[in-house]
Amino acid sequence: DRTARRPRVLLLCSPCMGHLIPFTELARRLVAHHGLAATLLFASATWPPPEQYLALAASVPDGVDLVALPAPPPEALPHFAHVRDRVTHAVRASIPHVRHVARALSTEAGPLAAIVVDMVGAAPARGVAAELGVPFYMFFTSPWMTLSLLMHLPHLDATSSSRVEFRDPIRLPGCVPVHAHDLPPSMRADRGSDMYAGFLAMAREVTGVDGILVNTFRELEPAVGDDGMIVNGVTTTLPVIHPVGPLVWTRPVLGGGKDRGRHECLMRWLDQQPRGSVVYVSFGSGGTLTLQQTAELALGLELAQCRFVWAVKRPHQSSTTGAFFGSRQGDEETAALDFLPEGFIDRTKDVGLVMTSTWAPQTAILDHASVGCFVTHCGWNSILESVIYGVPMVAWPLYAEQNMNAAMLEVQVRVAVRVKFGDDHFVTKEEVAAAIKRVMNGAEAERMTKRVSELRERSVHALSKDGSSTHALAQTANKWKCFANGK
Ligand code: UDP
């Protein structure tokens, strides 16, 4: 194998498809364009790993060794543990395997050039990098704006007057002001809570790595990296920031045999629809709405009288991340669609497709000329994919930093309309229809479409041979190669 003796990067990714997808593309680029070899470890939370992991693993090119590490025993955590706890637990439990692989690689394969982790892996894997004395980098799979917030958090925490929660807008250099209600749930939580403490601890870890690759590009987030951070009148040294995005996995991540047939059907259906006429609705790999909200969204799509493809998830009453570790049995239940309003499927059968497979071929859908609007939960990968394929959005944030992403998209980037939440965070069918219409018809829609097409071109340029993101990754790769070659 021509890559066997090359300096090798070891990447560790937490068990979220939203991290694994950009990590895989990062690994592919390091191997294909930057003369490195890559081993990508996936810290599984469930065993066997999810179907979509297996489908992705089947499409990984030669030269990238993707390995799923054994999941910790299910009894080690209570079943109802929060997604974040399960993810963190899986990464912590993976560390002995990571250490073993790292040692074996550094003695048997080419020299180890760097260890790259996501934000979850920073604390647990630091020791492994230190033991082996290799550069320790983070690949940040959320926007620069979130990273900037994390880097400012220790200082904000120490100086903010409110003891309970943050109330005033937070002004991060070059970003839209972050209003209190748009902060990630962990920062809206009581500052005495475990949730907040965990977030603060993660924020402190961020500045302890040698460098950070961010999945963004300058034309989308112009302030990326030039945030001279001033704490108590002193400029603090931050890790070097490299915008290397937008990195998304555009190879097909298709499910098994049954899904493949469904996906082909979907593509044929899209082929028959007028250009830019279809609304794609998806809340990411695990996002869920309540039963009432799911039904209301259905009625909203009907009211908008639009064509649509809806990657529907079974409702969850108490969690917005209810499908993150979904089971096969859950899929079969979803397929019954008994949670949709009576007669909905029948009434919309000529204009809409409700997809019940675990995994929609999202990039292929967004790439299709018939798709003209994406109703999204504002996961960062979904946003980048929408930008790459030039599709304006209806922003319907659910969890993590998604409210901030929605604000950025609407106010700064101006390629999305944000849904208005009413009492109890409920979005009415009228509001669903109104937001879709704003993105699909009229002068505002035209402006958004034009703007997102321009961004699309800039994203292509950022990743071209002479583009800023390619250049940033090349610089980092060179540093790693020099280290590995002892220079
Ligand atoms: N995705 C997909 N099909 C699905 C659901 C998700 O291909 O049915 C992909 C999507 O294209 C994106 C990733 O999974 O690359 C989800 O990442 P994102 O950051 O948007 O959201 P998350 O699920 O991590 O909250």
pLDDT in tens, 79-119: 767 888 899 999 999 999 999 999 999 888 789 999 999 99
Q: Which residues contact 222 (CB under 8 A, 6 or more apart)?
A: 174
- pLDDT at position 255, please? 54
Q: Picking from 99-103, 206-210, 279-283, 340-344, which range would have the lowest pLDDT averaged per residue?
A: 206-210
Q: Which residues contact 402 (CB under 8 A, 6 or more apart)?
A: 377, 378, 379
Which position among 34, 65, 89, 118 bears the catalytic label?
Answer: 118
- pLDDT at position 328, please? 46
Measured CA distances, 96 to 72, 142, 249, 404, 439 (Å): 12, 27, 29, 36, 49
Q: How many CB atoms lie within 10 A of CB 336?
A: 10
**R_g over Cα of the chain:** 22
The answer to whether residues 393 and 449 touch, using CB atoms and an 8 Å cutoff, is: no
- Whole-prediction pTM value? 0.96
Residue closest via CA to ligand 1's atom 3 equals 360
Is residue 9 within a helix (H) or strand (E), and if so which, with residue range?
A: strand 8-13
Average pLDDT over residues 309-314: 95
Residue 38 pLDDT exceeds 90: yes
Residue 466 pLDDT exceeds 80: yes
Which atom of ligand 1 lies nearest, measured to the CA of 284? Answer: 23
Ligand 1 center to residue 98 CA distance, Å? 26
- pLDDT at position 161, please? 72
Residue whose pair of structure tokens reads 């259905």 in the numeric block = 298
Cα–Cα distance, 210 to 197 (Å, whole number): 24
Q: Given ligand 1 and candidates 285, 321, 366, 377, which is best to mutate, with the most ligand atoms within 8 Å of its CB?
A: 285
Residue 118 appears among annotated catalytic residues: yes
Q: How many CB atoms lie within 10 A of CB 322?
A: 20
Ligand 1 center to residue 68 CA distance, Å? 19
- Name the H helices within 1-65: 17-34, 51-58
Give the tens place of pLDDT for each residue, 11-26.
999 999 999 999 999 9
Coil, strand or helix at 190: coil
Ligand 1 center to residue 181 CA distance, Å? 24
Ligand 1 center to residue 357 CA distance, Å? 14
- pLDDT at position 225, please? 87
Q: Given ligand 1 and candidates 319, 362, 380, which is best to mutate, with the most ligand atoms within 8 Å of its CB?
A: 362
Residue 403 pLDDT exceeds 70: yes
Residue 438 pLDDT exceeds 60: yes
Ligand 1 center to residue 482 CA distance, Å? 35
- CA 252 to the chain's CA centroid: 17
Residue 414 pLDDT exceeds 80: yes
Residue closest via CA to ligand 1's atom 21 equals 379
Residue closest via CA to ligand 1's atom 7 equals 362
Which residues sit with their C-beta closer than 6 Å to ligand 1? 16-18, 21, 248, 253, 282, 284-286, 311, 359-360, 362-363, 379-382, 385
Which atom of ligand 1 lies nearest, measured to the CA of 378? Answer: 20
